[in-house]
Amino acid sequence: MTIDENLRIVSWSDECASVWRYRAGKTDPTLLHELIPLETPALDSIRRMFHNGKPVKLKGITLPCPYGSCKIALSINPLYMKKRAHGASVHVEPTFICQKEEDMHSDIHMRDIRTATTTLAHGVRNPLNAIKGAVVYIREKYAREKNLITFIEIIEEEINRLDTFIAHYLSASVTQRNNERVDVNSVLKKIEILTSFQVQSHGIKAMFQYGDVGNIKINPFLLEQAILNVINNAVEAISGNGRLKVKTESVIRAGKRYVLISVSDTGKGIAKTTSQVQSPHAKGRGFGLLITYEVLRSVHGHLEISSKGGKGTTVRMYFPCVRG
């Protein structure tokens, strides 16, 4: 948002407008400290900025929340006209968000996803049957092509698994169904084959490294989808001759053993880095990452992201190991 010399809000960004329920771009005589509780020293430092031209940074500002409170930081920079500061831009950055409110927004987003996927589950059955018929034809016609038959066998297995998953989808939660002991490396090796054509067509050099890891207990179909969501995001983020690295390893955190699956790319990175995703909404990545996060949460795992603009992104998926 922007303010004038009297600390009145002159204009709103779309994001600020949505947070404070104002129409974007609206000019309103609202004072900055009527929206954001600022003490006298902070207000004085902002007023001095118009004279000395020095940007102001304010941290640890508490905002009220219906479920508790959240904290923000403000970066205020002067806007000049004819070498004189006539206004300022105000950048608001959340530093601590109320967990209850985050969970509420996450639950709403997940309900939207479940509604959409229920519709999808009904609509995908007929095309799936057509694909089954095509696969049978290809298997019979090219029975001597060993490499092709390898792909056909994987496709048939995935079709049968998807068909079963859709048939039972409406009777229980998507993340709490048919869990079994799964060899992560075996699943990932199949994904490596399935994605090989995709990465080659994008000119991407892909490397898969398999560590000595234990089994996890999860729905195998959901595990594949969780990993594929992350890999597809990585492929989309890479432009030109980029690199994709997928690695499995065994790690211990807080006294518990996990299977860590990390997916790294050399893409453009994402705008905001977080150490633990709670409710990702970034355009192009939010939907798939949220599903991956929900799959991990259902087995008491967790998801971490590290990213640097122009340098790429690494997504780490931690799955609890099964004893024995």
Architecture of domain 177-324: 2-Layer Sandwich (3.30)
Angle among Cα 75, 80, 81 to the nearest 5 degrees reads: 155
Q: Do 182 and 189 touch, CB atoms closer than 8 A? A: no
Structure tokens at 6: 């009297």
The single-letter code of the amino acid at 172 is A
User: Which of the listed CATH numbers 3.30.450.20, 3.40.109.10, 3.40.50.2000, 3.40.50.1370 matches domain 2-97?
Assistant: 3.30.450.20
Write the DSSP assignment of 185-226 as a string of letters.
Answer: HHHHHHHHHHHHHHHHHTT-EEEEE-----EEEE-HHHHHHH
3-state helix, strand and coil shares in percent for the chain, rounded to the nearest 5 = 45, 30, 25
Range 199-202, long-range pairs (CB < 8 A, 24+ positions): 199/235, 199/244, 202/235, 202/238, 202/242
Q: Do 260 and 228 touch, CB atoms closer than 8 A? A: no
Q: Supply the DSSP symbol for 323.
A: P
The reply to whether 2-97 and 177-324 are identical in fold is: no
**Predicted pLDDT at 293:** 86
Return the domain boundaries, the chain. Answer: 2-97, 99-171, 177-324
Instruction: Report helix, strand or coil for 95.
Output: strand
Q: Per-residue pLDDT for the chain (324 aa), expressed as one digit of tens each?
A: 888 888 888 887 766 665 664 444 444 557 888 778 888 888 889 988 888 888 999 888 877 654 455 677 889 998 887 777 778 888 888 765 555 545 545 555 555 555 556 556 656 766 777 787 888 888 888 888 888 888 888 888 888 877 776 666 545 444 455 789 999 999 999 889 888 877 887 889 999 999 999 899 998 888 988 898 899 888 888 877 789 999 999 999 888 999 999 999 998 877 554 444 443 334 444 567 877 888 898 898 999 998 887 788 999 999 999 876
Structure tokens at 133: 């018929």
Cα–Cα distance for residue pair 166/163, rounded to 1 Å: 5
Strands 56-65 and 312-320: unpaired
Q: What is the pTM of this model?
A: 0.53
Cα–Cα distance for residue pair 100/65, rounded to 1 Å: 10
Structure tokens at 155: 């496709």
Structure tokens at 253: 């955190």
Residue 61's nearest CA partner among 80, 79, 82, 76 is 76
**Predicted pLDDT at 313:** 92
Length of the chain: 324
Strands 215-218 and 243-253: unpaired
Residue 311's nearest CA partner among 277, 279, 266 is 266
